[in-house]
Every structure is written in C-alpha cells, then in structure tokens.
Structure 1
Amino acid sequence: VNDAPALKAADVGIAMGERGTDVAREAAALVLLDDSFASIVAAIRQGRRIDDNIRKATRFVFAVHVPIIGLTLVPTLLHWPALLLPVHIVLLELLIDPACSIVFEAEAEDHGLMDRAPRPVADSPFGARQLLFSVLQGLGMAAVLLAGQAWLTAQGWSAAQGRSVVFGTLVMGVMLLIFANRDLSRPAWYGVTDRNPWLWRMVVAMVLLLVAMLGLPWLRSLMGLALPGMGGLAAGAALLALSLAWLELLRTVNRRWPRPRAAPRPA
C-alpha cells in the first residue's frame, strides 16, 4: 500500500505482476508479468526503437514534401514551364507512403541506442528542432533542383528535358532523404550495410521506375519527359551530389548541436 503514492508520482511506475499487491498494480503504469527486471531493459530498448522510427518517418515526411511544394509553386511564380505535373506528384506519393509505413518501420535499432540519456518528457516528434531540421533538408534540396533547372534553361534545354533531369533527381533524392533520416548519430554512409531488406527493395523499385519512365516511349510521352542523354545524366548526378552534400552537412551540425536532457526529478 505504501508503494502506491510513489508509483503514482513516478514518470513510469513499475509494479510486479506476480508478487506485487493489487494496490501497487493499480497505481503502476507498467506491470511486469514475469517479475523480471530484465524485462524492463528489453521494453525500454524496444520502446526507444519504436520512438526513433516514428521520429525518422516524421522527419522524412516533412522534408520530402518541401521540394515537392517548391518545385510546384516557384515555377508558377516565376512563369517557368511546369516542373512537376500532377502525375509526377502522384508517383512521388506512391513512393513516400511505403517509405513511412514499411521502410522506417523495419529499421533496426540505432547505434548506441541504450547509451543515450533519457529525453525530456515534453520532447515531441513534432518539436521545433525536429521540424527545423526537416524543413532545412527540403529547402536545400529544392534550392539545388531549382538552380539546376535555371542553369539548364540558360543552356537552351527544352522544358521536357529539364523536367526529366529535375524529376529524375527528385526521385533519387527521395532515396537520399530516407538515408539522411535514419541513424543521425553517425554519417549516413555508415548505415548502408545495416540490415533492412525493405530499404533495398525500395531502391530497386525507384531505379526500375525511372528506367521505365525514360526508356518506354509511350510512358515517357505520357509523363511529359524526354530522353536526357549523357549530358542530362551528368547534370542529374551533379545535382544529386550537391543534395547529398547539403544533407550530410545538416546531419553533422545536428550531431554537434547540444541536445536538451531530461531534468532530474527532485528527491
């Protein structure tokens, strides 16, 4: 009975399921059915992994929609030819949804998961730091793609050719954003060998999608695209490299920026 007030006052009150009293079990937030303290560690590990994966998906969703919005609105404001047609946006959404619901859900735990200090109670996946990081990712990618389109137009490329380069780079940029929002505690390329079969299935799906859209004449015409040629492939690779450099710069700054820690509770 005396444990009940302490269990209520704790952030997460834990009671024994077999040996604990009825009052303690009612007051606790968690009940250990097997009365094993090892279950607490396993539960915290799993909870942190789930929380991390939710945050990864949240960052990705906010980040990936910024360049889509930018590539839709800015050409209209500047009276450029449309860069993204409705069919392009639909295809991008078909890539984004599986990334959130399957790829990030299948992510393994981050490096040093159990070495981290507890987060503050008020910390949210929609906090200012999270949203700022996501928006900056998307803004940088949008700026790179818009600058690339401006350069291609100045070089005399047609609207369809420029659209092919920008859209193809954006599709691969979705893949970059997935990698960039995985484990933030180390450089993105360290996670290339991490096991996540759904990630590589999605990479293959994206590559096949691009090959089909650019290689099949009827589909290319339907999508409003044109063969980019070797020059277009080189331009797309350069834009992709600039986007990768920007994303990795943000990850480096994020790793070195001090994080808020949970305040100690008064005794």
Structure 2
Amino acid sequence: MSQKILTALVLCLAVCCVAFAGCTGSDSKTPAQSGAEEKPTYVVGIDAPYPPFSIMGKDGKPTGFDTETMLWIAEKEGFNVEFKQIAFESLVPALKGKNIDLVHSSMTITPERLEQVNFSIPYWTVNQTVIAREGSALTMDDVLAGKATIGTQRGTTAEIWIDENLVQKGLMDKKNLKHHDNIANAVTDLQNGNIDAVMFDSTVINDVIAGKKLQKIGSVDTGEQFGIAVRKGDNELLATINDGLEKFMNDPYRQELIQKYKME
C-alpha cells in the first residue's frame, strides 16, 4: 500500500470518529442519548413583604407560605422557579406582558382579574380586618358609616371594597381613602396619626400589628379566595399548577406550613 493511500485511510477514519463520536472509547453520553430532560424554569411574580405569605429574608431570598408552596409544587411537578419582586398592582400587567410566567402572591380571584388572566383552584380564604391605634374610640360602625379616614395597599381587594362599598355609595369622601404602595406604609401612616384605620387581609393582620400599639376593631366577611394566576392560553401550565396544588392541599406539608407561619 502506498504512503498516499495509507494517509488517506487514516484521515478518513479520523473524520468518521468525529462525526459519529463513537471511536474514542469514551462512555460519556449527551443528554439526548442518556434520556435526560432539562426542567423548564418559570418566573414567579411576588410582592414582599406580605407576611406570612411572602417574606423577604435578610439574605434577599423570599420565604413565606406562598413561596414554600410554590417550591413544593415545582419539585413535585418537575420544574424550576425563579422569584421576581414586583409591586402588587403591577403583577397582572407583568404577567400579561410576559415578564413573568406566574403570579403567586396572595392574589384574590375576582371577576375583574379573571377577564385578564386565568386562576388556579383556590388555596386560601380571607376576610378583611380593620385595625386602629390602641385606645382609639373608633368603632366598626363608624368605619362602615364612612366616618373614618382609611388606608390600605394600592391595587388590593381592601381598596376595591372600600371604594365600592363606601366611596361609590356616597358614605365616604374619596379623599378619605388613602392609597399606599404597601401595607407597611399604611401602618406607619396609622401609627403617626395621619389616618384613622387600616383595612387589610385577615391572615396578614396578625403579623402587621405584632409588637405595635395597634388593635383590631372588626372585620368584613368578604370570603375572598386566593389563587395562582397564569396567562390566558397557558392551559398546560395551568393544568400543571392545579395538579400540584391538589397534591399540596391533601399533603401533611400544608398543615406544617400553616403551623410554621401561625396562620390559624
């Protein structure tokens, strides 16, 4: 065999080994060959602090009932999550604009929101509780008669309830409904005497007033149900979330979280 022919055969064999990745003697496999599948990652919008549902840790990582619920569902359903902090009133626009994939931030299922997004099955129920300063003579009757300046977080169902049931019915001047970026600011306004009361979700109020000279004066039975929001058309993702939620609702871990965050 001539040197030219031998050289050509060697080159041919080298090319074949590269093309078919089978001539090196290596046992390594590509993900496709090994059957491994990459998990999808979904960006979850939250608004923290919103204890006990969403809490921002000192390390900058979110915790809380909602956050731990989503991590549990992700593990069971085979996907990864990234949490993104967004102001509550901007969560639905961010979801519709595809800046996030899910909203899991104690969001009440309402007819108005259902026109824009789809919701999972409900996972929690709350009413609206009113707080005032300790020693205040303000009563729940005063609040319901529109005789108080009330603060709450912008974009929440508390704000909607006050507007629909007090302002629009002519019981309270609209200037007496004070809108705040978050519940902490509303509480500070109350403590400083700038407003008479704050209305907010019943499950959250215990954390809000802890260690402060504030008191509950009553509640409004709204029976609101929280759900996880997804974009309209994301039916497969919605089915995945519902499947995970159903498992969670029937798992002992749910009660562990309720006890951990003192929700009952």
Measured against the shorter chain, the TM-score band is under 0.3
Larger Rg: 2
Please state which structure has a larger fraction of its residues in strand: 2
**How high is the TM-score relative to the length of structure 1?**
0.24
**How high is the TM-score relative to the length of structure 2?**
0.25
Relative contact order: is structure 1 or structure 2 higher (C-alpha 8 Å, sep ≥ 6)?
2
Please state which structure has a larger fraction of its residues in helix: 1
